[in-house]
Amino acid sequence: MIFLYVSLVIIKANNVYLDETVDFQYLKSGIGLTATPTTEDNSPMIWYRRRHVDDYQKYVNALERLLNQRRRNASDYKYLGACGEAPFGYGDTPCVIVRINKNWGWRAKPVQPDATDVPSTVQHWAQKDAKLWLHCGGQHPYDTEHIGNIKYIPDPPGFDPSVFPLTKDSESPLIGVQFSNFTLGVSIVVECKLWYKDGSSSVDFVLFVGT
């Protein structure tokens, strides 16, 4: 019941509206993000026991489906490292793959190097390259305390703005986000936020890994 409650709070707080296809998920403002496998069944939660393959196999399957739908050859997603092939880090170091939803008219300018309304890490990245930057972390201090380490693939996690707007035949780039050394047996609310000039978009989900 606690997990269900948290999920409903996240959905309501972010005013998420779901189309029949997951790739078209929009917020009331800005562009929507999709975090697979949490959006596979429209439930923003990753829940499993670390040593129980049956618990997390559905997440592995969801990530495989995502890549297989897009893959043109076997080496397409080698750049995603552990987040590009099964079992995607499950169960000790699970991966989530984040992409920007299709909206054929959407484009954004990169975060400016002198931006002050972004996290310091994003500010550092923006001083080195002109991209749309993804930054993930705990939504609240309690979550930050237990979230452990976050690895981005590629690192740093930027989307090339020249790719957008997407066309009917183009696909949104993928960024792998891998979690490790988090606290077991604790529900952690994760927020992944996309930063661009004069705006941001986010997707939230709960990570719970039991022993």
Tell me the pairing of strands 95-100 and 175-180.
antiparallel
Residue type, 12: K
The CATH number fitting domain 2-210, selected from 3.40.50.150, 3.40.640.10, 2.60.40.1660, 3.20.20.10: 2.60.40.1660
Q: Where are the domains of the chain?
A: 2-210
Q: Identify the DSSP state of 161.
A: G
| Cα–Cα distance, 61 to 56 (Å, whole number) | 9
| Cα–Cα distance, 112 to 7 (Å, whole number) | 34
Res 10: pLDDT:
46
Query: Mean pLDDT in runs of 10 for the chain (211 residues)?
Result: 45 38 43 87 87 96 94 83 96 97 92 92 96 97 98 97 91 96 97 95 96 89
Res 41: pLDDT:
64
Q: 94 Cβ partners below 8 Å, 6+ apart?
A: 46, 56, 59, 88, 178, 179, 207, 209
Res 38: pLDDT:
86
Q: 64 Cβ partners below 8 Å, 6+ apart?
A: 86
Res 196: pLDDT:
96
